[in-house]
Chains A and B, each alone.
Chain A
Amino acid sequence: MTSIVALILNYMVQYEAARLDASFAALSDATRRGVLEQLGRGDASITELADRFHMTLTGMKKHVGVLEQAGLVTTEKVGRVRTCRLGGRGFEEEVAWIEERHRIWSSRFDALDQVIEAMKRKEKADGRTRE
């Protein structure tokens, strides 16, 4: 019963759906598509991207944030410069493999926490009525 295919399937579908929603939202903007193309030619800092697309730093930060959330771009801050690069979503298969299992156990155990909480409350109440 540990390998609950149906349950896992559902988690996976929800996970995929959320991921795809984020990806599509990210790709629905011309500037962000441009940023992806630009990063395809090489890594770039937020400042360089803002210059390239004639935008404010704040505006570009927002766009990069959306791309990052969708897993299409990763960023790394070294000193005062934040460098952006393509990728991130294709994170290693092994990591995905174990993260998926972690998600399932974690959510299951959060539910068990609540059951234990209820059992403790009930025991306490029963104890009181016996007294």
Chain B
Amino acid sequence: MGERVSDGRTTVERKSDRELVVTRVFDGPVRLVFDAWTKAELFQLWWAPKSSGVPMLACEMDARTGGGYSVTFGKDAENAMTFYGKYLEVTPPSRLVWTNDESEQGAITTVTFEEEEGDRTLLVLQELYPSKEALDESFVGMEDAMPEQFRQLDELLAARAASAA
């Protein structure tokens, strides 16, 4: 464990078997950053960046302790997927905790917002999964859905490298 990747701005670290931590500093005061995470009209501007090619179709947030959220992504309504859960804690403007209920192996996500010098915000996001396997496989679906031809091409390239060896 303990793998860590940083580009000097965003750092992603696997802190333990079940825990992934992402940190980033934003050039804006805590209250604005917190709003961007808790107001649906702002949240949908950035959570699914344009480069992803998968737009957010709907976003509802009742960002209060005990409130719920639901976020739907997809190219169109037929190929959409909804992510949903409950806010376990909402303490403006410093702390957010939510569940990810679309999967039984979903993490508990905790986001903290901390004032930094110069009107900046240190954001720490922690995902705590129910088990090591749940974190390992938190990208399941990706590999399963990866187009078959890509896998075949990968095998082809691997075979070429092996035959060259």
Contacts and interface: CB of A to CB of B under 8 A. Distances in A.
B54 A7 contact: yes
B52 A3 contact: no
A28 interface: no
B57 to A, nearest CB: 10
A119 B4 contact: no
- Chain A interface category by residue count: 35 or more
Interface stretch (A45-53, A54-62, A92-100): A92-100
A-side interface mostly = helix
A5 interface: yes
Contact of B32 (A72, A102, A119): A119
Contacts of A23: 157
B73 A6 contact: yes
Contacts of B3: 94-95, 97-98
Contacts of B35: 119
A112 interface: yes
10 contacts: A1-B98, A1-B109, A3-B83, A5-B140, A7-B54, A9-B145, A105-B22, A106-B9, A108-B49, A116-B33
The 6 closest A-B pairs by CB, nearest first: A40-B164, A1-B83, A111-B46, A116-B28, A111-B49, A5-B141
